[in-house]
Amino acid sequence: MDNQKLSAENYPQISANALRPTYIEVNLSALSSNFDAIKKRAGKSKIMPILKANAYGHGLVKVAQYMENLGADYLGVAFLEEGILLRESGVKMPILVLGGILGNQIPLFIENDLTLTASSIEKLNLIDEAAENLKAKAKVHLKIDTGMERIGVHYYNANKFIEKAFGYKNIIVEGVFSHFADSASSDLTHTYLQLERFNDALNFARKSGFEIPLKHISNSGGILQLPEADFDLVRPGILLFGVYPSAEVKRTVPVTPALTWKSRVVYFKVIKPNHPVGYGMIWKSDKQIRAVTIPVGYGDGYFRSMTGKAEVLLNGKKYPVIGRISMDQIVVNIEGDSAFNNDEVVLIGRQGKEEISVADLAEWAGTVPYEILTNINTRVPRVYLR
């Protein structure tokens, strides 16, 4: 496999020789160079890699361990269970859980040394009570909603929220943050409005004498387009993995895709004219063609909605996927060309001079690059290359 050895360390559940022919390669060197490029761009700001949704499909535990070794300052995840998994896997660095919380979850946050997102005074009350019961201190980041309307105290109520937060005996206010709704757009009007609202809240905290070590709002789009929003910490998500968050965003940080999605030919056949291919019989040729079957489908996250649009790379050339994409298999039209069982097929990545990008799949599926990456199923093995 491109002179790289599959390691049992990567797949304790299966032997390397039995590895499924559809798999993901994660290039750790690309992750490292992307991290360095973001760090250079962010200057003195700390870096919090966002590793939610299985690290954007790249593998939560392995990527978290690698980020810890690279010297990231903090990690961000979406849910409690992601944070607990990292702790159980030996990750010791600070972890902020960005999502909303329920009261009965709070003791688990404290017991696993996970930082909570405090999104209301009610949540602060519950956090303080749980910490007191455990005779511990709870670390929180206060969430200010500056224009996203998900979780967090509205910016126009932020002053009271901040003032209240510093009055609890069992809570350490480690940070305050917000989230940009549209920072990867070419029109940054709303983004600058959010930044202004966030700055107003920070100014109140400063004038009131409240010391907040970590102030942060900048996601991947913010890192690329609003250096004035860096504050104490930036939160790269999809950018860390070498994918730009939109087609219109300014590409001020050079990054390289870390993920390649590969498979192999498992069947070759000749299809006669007027013989339909796949479910629903929506495709047939008026001439004889050669076709290969690839063991990947929408059960892996290769979206059914790409039917009639998707292409793959085989022997350095692009070929169309024909018929409906099914759960576990696709059929590729290679016209009059030749292919053999076990030939490498690239679904995302480069082969020879050709490339199929995450953005290509997003366009074919009518979605965004984020959804392509985060929907690659966990039944697709991950191989980590250094």
Same domain, 84 and 223: yes
What is the predicted pLDDT for the residue at 22? 96
3 state DSSP class of 344? strand
Same domain, 224 and 275: no
Look at residue 294 and give its three-state secondary structure.
strand
Q: How many residues does the chain have?
A: 386
| 235 lies in the same domain as 274 | no
Whether residue 304 is found in the same domain as residue 203 = no
- Between these two residues, 5 and 240, which has the higher pLDDT value? 240
d(CA 114, CA 92): 10
Question: What interhelical angle do 158-165 and 189-207 show, nearest 10?
Answer: 40
Q: Band of the pLDDT at 3, cuts 50, 70, 90? A: very low
Catalytic residue, chosen from 39, 52, 123, 262, is 52
With respect to residue 25, please indicate whether it lies within any of the assigned structural domains: no
- The mean pLDDT of 249-255, rounded to a whole number, is 97
- Judge if 136 and 267 occupy the same domain: no
Rounded to whole angstroms, the Cα distance separating 315 from 344 reads: 8
Q: Which residues are bridge partners to 141 per DSSP?
A: 117, 175
The DSSP secondary structure of 17-47, one letter per residue, reads: GG--SSEEEEEHHHHHHHHHHHHHHHTTSEE
Report how many domains make up the chain: 2
Q: Residues 61, 86: contact at Cβ < 8 Å?
A: yes
Residue 23 has pLDDT above 70, yes or no: yes
Reported confidence tier of residue 103, pLDDT bands at 50, 70, 90: confident
Do both 65 and 195 map to the same domain? yes
Q: Are residues 196 and 230 in the same domain?
A: yes
Domain that holds residue 344: 259-385
Q: Is residue 155 part of a domain?
A: yes
Domain assignment of residue 371, yes or no: yes
DSSP assignment string, 185-219? SS--HHHHHHHHHHHHHHHHHHHTT---SEEE---
Among candidate residues 187, 206, 241, the one where a domain is terminated: 241
Residue from 269, 272, 279, 287 carrying the catalytic annotation: 279
Query: Which residue, 214, 241, 268, sits at the end of a domain?
Result: 241
SS3 177: strand
Residues 133 and 196 in one domain: yes
Helices (H), the chain: 28-42, 52-56, 60-70, 80-88, 106-111, 121-133, 158-165, 189-207, 220-225, 358-365, 369-374
Annotated active-site residue 74? The verdict is no
265 and 216 in a common domain: no
- Same domain, yes or no: 97 and 193: yes
* Residues 205, 294 within the same domain: no
pLDDT tens, 337-372? 999 999 999 999 999 999 999 999 999 999 999 999
319 is catalytic: no
Same domain, 287 and 159: no
Residue 60 pLDDT level (bands cut at 50, 70, 90)? very high
